[in-house]
Structure 1
Amino acid sequence: MRNKVGALLIAIQIAVTMCIIVNAIHIILERQELMARDSGIDEANSFHLISTGFANDFNEQVTIETDLNTIRALPGVIDAVQINAIPISGGGWSMGLQTQPGAEFDGVGTAVYMVDEHVLEALDLELIAGEAFKPTHVRWRERAQTNWPDQTIITKAMAESLFPEEPWQQVVGKTVYINDNEPILIMGIIDKLQAPWVGWNNVEHAMLSPEKTLFSSSRYLVRTEPGRRDELMPKVEEILAESNKGRIIRDVTSMMDTRERSYRRHGAMIKILTTVMVILTVVTALGIVGLASFSVNRRRKQIGTRRALGASQSAILRYFMLENFLISTVGVVLGAALTIGLNIYLVQAFSLDRIDWYFIPLGMLVLWMVGQLAVFGPAKRAAGIAPAIATRTV
Structure 2
Amino acid sequence: MNEIALIFRALLRNKVGAILISLQIALTLTIMVNAVFMMQERHAQMQRPSGLDEANLFYLSNTIFATDYNQEVALRDDLELLRNTPGVVDAIQINAIPLSGGGWSMGLQTEPGENQSSAGVAVYMVDDHAIHTLGLELLSGENFAETDIQWRESGTTRWPAKTIVTQAMAKELYPDDWQSALGKTVYISQTQPIQIIGIVRALQAPWNGWNGVERSMLVPYQMETSNSRYMIRTEPGRRDELMPIIEKALAQSNKGRIIRGLRTMEETRERSYRGHNAVNKILTTVVFTLTLITGFGIVGLAMFSINRRTKQIGTRRALGASRSQIMGYFLIENLMITTLGVVIGSAGAIGLNIWLVNTFTLSPINPVLVVIGIACIYLVGLLAVLYPARKAANISPAIATRTA
Q: Counterpart in 2 of 1:151?
A: 162
Shift of 1:324: 0.3
Q: Counterpart in 2 of 1:297?
A: 307
CA distance in 2, matches of 1:59, 1:252: 23
Q: Counterpart in 2 of 1:263?
A: 273
Shift of 1:229: 0.9
CA distance in 1, matches of 2:107, 2:403: 85
**1:347 partner amino acid:** V
Shift of 1:233: 1.2
Q: Counterpart in 2 of 1:237?
A: 247
How is 1:49-198 mapped onto 2 (pairs within 5 angstroms)?
A: 49-165=60-176, 167-198=177-208
Query: Of 30, 36, 46, which residue of structure 1 is paired with 2:41?
Result: 30
Q: Counterpart in 2 of 1:314?
A: 324
Shift of 1:215: 1.3
CA distance in 1, matches of 2:297, 2:306: 14
Query: Of 352, 358, 371, which residue of structure 2 is paired with 1:361?
Result: 371
Provide, for residues 47-94 of structure 1, a one-character-per-residue CA deviation record: whole Å limited to 9, x for no partner.
Answer: 111101101222221221111111111111111110001111111101
Structure 1's unaligned 5+ residue stretches are none
2:53 touches 2:134 (CA, 8 Å); kept in 1? yes
**2:122 partner amino acid:** A
CA distance in 1, matches of 2:223, 2:314: 88
- Could you tell which deviates more after superposition, 175-184 or 14-23? 175-184
Shift of 1:170: 2.6
CA distance in 2, matches of 1:8, 1:363: 20
CA distance in 2, matches of 1:89, 1:134: 28
Shift of 1:390: 4.0
Query: Of 350, 356, 359, which residue of structure 1 is paired with 2:360?
Result: 350
For 2:203, what is the secondary structure of its paired residue?
coil
Query: Of 318, 326, 330, which residue of structure 1 is paired with 2:340?
Result: 330
CA distance in 1, matches of 2:183, 2:252: 45
Q: Counterpart in 2 of 1:47?
A: 58
Say if 2:385 is the partner of 1:385. no
Shift of 1:364: 1.2
1:97 touches 1:108 (CA, 8 Å); kept in 2? yes
Shift of 1:351: 1.6
For 1:391, what is the secondary structure of its paired residue?
helix
2:251 touches 2:258 (CA, 8 Å); kept in 1? yes
Provide, for residues 313-344 of structure 1, a one-character-per-residue CA deviation record: whole Å limited to 9, x for no partner.
Answer: 00000000000000000001000011111111
1:152 touches 1:186 (CA, 8 Å); kept in 2? yes
**1:48 partner amino acid:** Y
Shift of 1:361: 1.8
CA distance in 1, matches of 2:179, 2:172: 13
**1:75 partner amino acid:** P
CA distance in 1, matches of 2:368, 2:18: 27
Say if 2:15 is the partner of 1:4. yes
Shift of 1:391: 3.2
CA distance in 1, matches of 2:270, 2:215: 21
CA distance in 1, matches of 2:323, 2:141: 78
For 2:231, what is the secondary structure of its paired residue?
strand
**1:329 partner amino acid:** T
**2:295 partner amino acid:** A
Provide, for residues 160-190 of structure 1, a one-character-per-residue CA deviation record: whole Å limited to 9, x for no partner.
Answer: 111123x333322111111111111111111
2:318 touches 2:400 (CA, 8 Å); kept in 1? no
Shift of 1:22: 0.4
CA distance in 2, matches of 1:159, 1:343: 32
CA distance in 1, matches of 2:262, 2:128: 23
CA distance in 2, matches of 1:188, 1:346: 38
**2:266 partner amino acid:** M
1:40 touches 1:125 (CA, 8 Å); kept in 2? yes
Shift of 1:107: 1.2
CA distance in 1, matches of 2:400, 2:55: 69
1:101 touches 1:177 (CA, 8 Å); kept in 2? yes
CA distance in 2, matches of 1:126, 1:22: 38
For 2:105, what is the secondary structure of its paired residue?
strand
2:174 touches 2:180 (CA, 8 Å); kept in 1? no
CA distance in 2, matches of 1:308, 1:170: 84
Shift of 1:142: 1.1
Provide, for residues 338-360 of structure 1, a one-character-per-residue CA deviation record: whole Å limited to 9, x for no partner.
Answer: 11111111112222221111222
